[in-house]
Amino acid sequence: MKLFRLVHQEARQNAASFALAAPEGWAVTFAPYEQLRSQEANAAYWAWINEFCDSGAQDGDGVPWVAGKMHKTFKRMFLGKFIRVMPNGDTEELEATTTRLTAKEFSAYMNRCQSWIADVTA
């Protein structure tokens, strides 16, 4: 995937050149730009997950939570999976990732994670 922010004439020319050189079957989407989640928000998310895991919390089977497992669980519960269609028409199922969430989407994701933890620890 290639992203062009149309903020000046050179960016517009670069986008046009890329579109002209793209292989058959590619698609172009124009949409308002939304800022992706920040590194600071991501760091806060991981600090928060680590704090919960370090508290001795356990999953439903009595196994202590570890940060990586908790992150994967949250992604599966709140982001799910998506289907990527390859240029040749093949498809593959992939786990969603937080790296491509907008700031607004990441905030909503963190709220859902925090609500889940609040329910589990209540």
The per-residue pLDDT string of the chain (122 residues; one tens digit each, 9 = 90 and over) reads: 778 888 899 999 999 999 999 888 888 888 888 889 999 999 999 999 999 999 988 988 999 999 999 999 999 999 988 888 888 888 888 888 999 899 999 999 999 999 999 988 87
pTM of the model: 0.71
Domains of the chain (ranges; CATH) run 1-33 (no CATH), 35-121 (1.10.3790.10)
Contacts of 76 (CB under 8 A, 6+ apart): 95
Nearest to 22 by CA among 14, 10, 11: 14
> Rounded to an integer, what distance in angstroms lies between the CA atom of residue 58 and that of residue 15?
49
Nearby residues of 20 by Cβ (< 8 Å), 6 or more positions away: none
pLDDT single digits (tens) 4-37? 888 899 999 999 999 999 888 888 888 888 889 9
**Of all helices (H) and strands (E), which one includes residue 121?**
helix 103-121
